[in-house]
Structure 1
Amino acid sequence: MNDFGQRPTEQASSSVSDEEEAEEQEAIGRIIHAVREYRGDAEWEVARWEHNFVRLPPRHRELVRTLPAKCARARQCIQANAAFLNEALCAFGDQPYNAGAGTRIMGGVRAADVRARARQPPAPADVEKVRYVLKNLTRDWGAEGAPERSQSYGRMTAEVAARLGAPPADGPPPRVLVPGAGLGRLCCDLAALGYEAQGNEFSYYMLLTAAFVLNESERVGQWVLHPWVHSSCNQLSDADQMRPVAIPDAVPTEMLPGPGLLSMTAGDFVEVYSTPAQAGAFDCVATCFFLDTAHNFIEYIEVIRHCLRVGGYWVNLGPLLYHWADAHTYLPDDELSIEVSLAEVERVAGELGFHSLRREMVPAAFNANLRSMLQSTYRCVFWTMQKQPAGAPARVTGGDQSRESKGA
């Protein structure tokens, strides 16, 4: 087992009130409950397929006579997924790299037990997030995800390397921060180049899975998942829907050229990295499909600038699918969401002290099913900006590259 430092930071946890602690334990309990209930919920969906099959007239059942065998195979796939998720859940609570969050996790377990005893079903959003984790594992840690990773992670690691250069033979390596690190693959790819990469993630769905994969992976193809089993639309064949995906395609510890190059922090990006201790702490911030997760993108830019050294680089790739734009349709609270055009985002970045070195529009998919009849690709902005000294004139336009890329 290898400790990749997957724990909430002291700065984030020390200021948490008892009420906030109880709310977080309840939130963790909701997540644990959703993971535990994955198999039952997924098999309910298979039961729905079977129910609709028996409603058909006999002559129609005969024409789709392979459906019962498909349902039986789907249950096997779901069982394999559930075994992985439960193993990850147990490891997240038991392993020493979570010692700092032990009380919080145990409180979450108790909250999950209460939900289970009350036979409370997981919320549909939580059900979908568990399935989303399976797809994300394919993107980050499956060989099948390599083409998609090359569109985003590959571009970003190449750009970071071009800006920071080779790590010095003597002395500390450049430090790169990856907010919204998800399952940690981009962090690993950057650490593999010899940089000190630190990921930050807020979602416990991602944190528990990342901790498991990063710390417990011992061999390529150690686990076999079936991430597309729940997707019954736009499938070319049953085999495509049930196909296995082996993870990881690379062992994290074997990717790293030395110790101490990879760490993860849990918590809200703004809370963790706006502290005085983080001022100028990083040579580069790499954001991938992250900026539009903000309630207030301006706050994100301010924190990115805060934790970069003067002359440090901000490498960004992603669309502007503002995640909170429609929160009013499914959440009771009035969630803040600031949605502006790309031109406005770039103008704000300039006024906050960034100068554009590179800007390109590139195609990039996210959690795409390569064998689906439905394919979607984002037209992402890919930029590199540099932090200017305080008082420098605002400027964002221009740079050494500003163009449209039509290739992958």
Structure 2
Amino acid sequence: MSSSSSFDMPSTCPEETEDSRSWAGDFDPLGDEGERKVVFSAFDSFRQYRRSAHLNTTHRRRQAFYALPTKHWQMLAEPPFSLLDNFNKVDDAIDVNADIADAIVAVGLKSFGLPARPDPSDPQNWHGVANSADVNKAHSTIRQFYRDWSTEGQAERDACYGPVLRDLDREFPDKLQRGEFVKVLVPGAGLGRLVFELALAGFSAEGNEISYHQLLASSWVLNHTRGPRCHELYPFALHFSNILSREQQLRKVMIPDVHPGTAMLEAQASGETPFGTMSMSAADFVVLYSSPSQKDAFDAVATVFFIDTAPNLIRYIEAIRNCLKPNGIWINVGPLLWHFEDGHQRTNSGGGSSSKDEEQNQGIGEPGNVELTEEEVFLLIERMGFEIEQRESPDERVECGYIQDPDSMLRPLYRPSHWIARKSLD
């Protein structure tokens, strides 16, 4: 995606939550054949959520269950096991989750002006175009609401978003007396929770995201949810391993824990901390924020679980240096789980240049990739015009999961690196 589309969020008017919202910007995703296919695949993957979840979760398990010796499956079908009853309950949970997926599709189609039931011969037919990878992204996106928009996900947010908010408050103690909002960029904004929290704290927050799965889902939760805790989600219902009880598997959470539109109105009414501004750009981070139009545009950049998505970290650093004001700060929280470690270049999930010109910013279209150690990351950042002002030692780091069931028998944990770098004066 060489240019950007954007949408504003959230609405301050309750009646607008059900209205369509058009995406704006200098780039029409539906006007480019490749980009249109990516958008259509995202829509179709959410549409397929219900069918794919039933098929791959309970249907195949019922088949395997009945393949057991008859006396064995009959024993397990009876109390106290009642496994067939549990399959039915999981099916019910899938349908609840699928209602969220369907809602994301419905509001997204209105925003793009697409038909819900397109004619198969219509060029705007978005049915049946998603592949298994697209559907998997839809599944993981639905689960991510647990992390970003449930009360139960607060611990993960505190570990990752908390340091960013504290760092910014220390850096800009006079943000309310400046006469203008402090501008903060959040690359890889995902479902928009950090962008929302920054605006709630009085900053002008701009999120950037390349994944249409994340963009469509964040638009729904920020602009179209009915109120706080009014949508049910079963984040762990589709998983059958490392669980202590069926009650744990079928645990329900309510989203969103905070209703964005209501929170905005309450902040404005209180007068204590004015609600800032929120926006989201739909673009390849490197391509957009390396452009001259973004030169020295932001007071701060906050990267959370983001820098390891880079095939070439140098490109990310160049983009951050370009869009950050002199003496501006770059706050990072996250691990180094390099997404390109397997050595295979990913297909573009949101555009990107196909040019092999070494000097062109190619974002996720980068032809090569490299994995660095944390020590090498620090050396590279300092080599490229930043000073590391603060860095936590490994024994100071807070462990956290990522969409982690706290009661699971298997608990993979990150020890995210937290540091602050300041852009040197030009």
Aligned counterparts of 1:153 and 1:104: Cα–Cα separation in 2: 37
Where does the alignment leave 5 or more consecutive residues of structure 1 unmatched?
A: 391-408
What are the Cα deviations for residues 258-297 of structure 1, in whole angstroms up to 9, with x where unaligned?
Answer: 4651111111111221121211111110000000111211
Deviation of the 1:137 alpha carbon: 0.5
Tell me which amino acid in the other structure corresponds to 1:195. F
Q: Which residue of 1 aligns with 2:371?
A: 339
Question: What is residue 246 of structure 2 aligned with on the other side?
Answer: 238
Q: 1:153 to 1:260 in 2, by over 3 A?
A: closer
CA distance in 1, matches of 2:287, 2:115: 18
List structure 1 runs of 4+ shifted beyond 6 angstroms: 5-9, 103-107, 329-334
Measure the CA separation in 2 of the matches of 1:377 and 1:49. 29
Residue 3 of structure 1 and its aligned partner are, at CA, apart by 4.1
- Provide the aligned C-alpha RMSD in A: 2.8
Q: Secondary structure at the match of 1:379?
A: coil
What is the rounded CA distance, in whole Å, between the counterparts of 1:378 and 1:52 in structure 2? 35
Q: 1:189 maps to which residue?
A: 197
Counterpart residue type for residue 384 of structure 1: I
Q: Does 1:160 align with 2:168?
A: yes
Instruction: Output the amino acid matched with 1:47.
Output: H
Whole-angstrom CA distance in 1 between matches of 2:97 and 2:303:
29
Structure-2 residue corresponding to 1:209:
217
SS at match of 1:168: helix
Query: 1:7-406 to 2 correspondence within 5 Å?
Result: 10=25, 13=27, 21-45=32-56, 46-65=58-77, 66-94=82-110, 98=111, 102=113, 113=125, 115-116=127-128, 122-169=130-177, 171-256=179-264, 257=267, 258=274, 261-326=277-342, 328=344, 335-360=367-392, 361=394, 362=397, 363-390=399-426
TM-score, normalised by the number of residues in structure 2: 0.81
Q: Which amino acid aligns with 2:389?
A: L
SS of the residue aligned with 1:263? strand
Q: Secondary structure at the match of 2:296?
A: coil
Cα distance in 1 for residues equivalent to 2:325 and 2:199: 19
Inter-partner Cα distance in structure 2 for 1:23 and 1:315: 34
Q: Work out the percentage of aligned pairs sharing the same amino acid.
A: 32
Higher helix share: 1
List gaps (5 residues or longer) in structure 2.
1-6, 12-20, 268-273, 349-364
Residue 339 and residue 251 in structure 1: after superposition, are their counterparts in 2 closer, same or farther (change >3 A)? same
- The offset of 1:112, in angstroms, is 7.9
Residues 1:203 and 1:2: Cα distance change in structure 2 (over 3 Å): closer
Instruction: State the distance in 2 between where 1:196 and 1:153 align.
Output: 16
**Cα displacement (A) at 1:213:** 0.5
Instruction: Give the structure 2 partner of residue 401 of structure 1.
Output: none
Letter in 2 for 1:31: A
User: Helix, strand or coil for the counterpart of 2:303?
Assistant: strand
3-state secondary structure, aligned to 1:366: coil
Change (3 A) 1:113 1:71: farther
- 1:40 and 1:59, CA in 2 relative to 1: closer, same or farther beyond 3 A? same
CA distance in 1, matches of 2:125, 2:165: 42
Tell me the distance in 1 between the aligned counterparts of 2:123 and 2:367.
25
Give the aligned residue type for 1:53: F
Q: How far apart, CA to CA, are the structure 2 residues paired with 1:123 and 1:103? A: 20
Q: Partner of 1:406 in structure 2?
A: none
CA contact (8 A) 2:308 2:338 kept: yes
Q: How many residues align?
A: 376
Give the TM-score normalised by the residue count of structure 1.
0.85
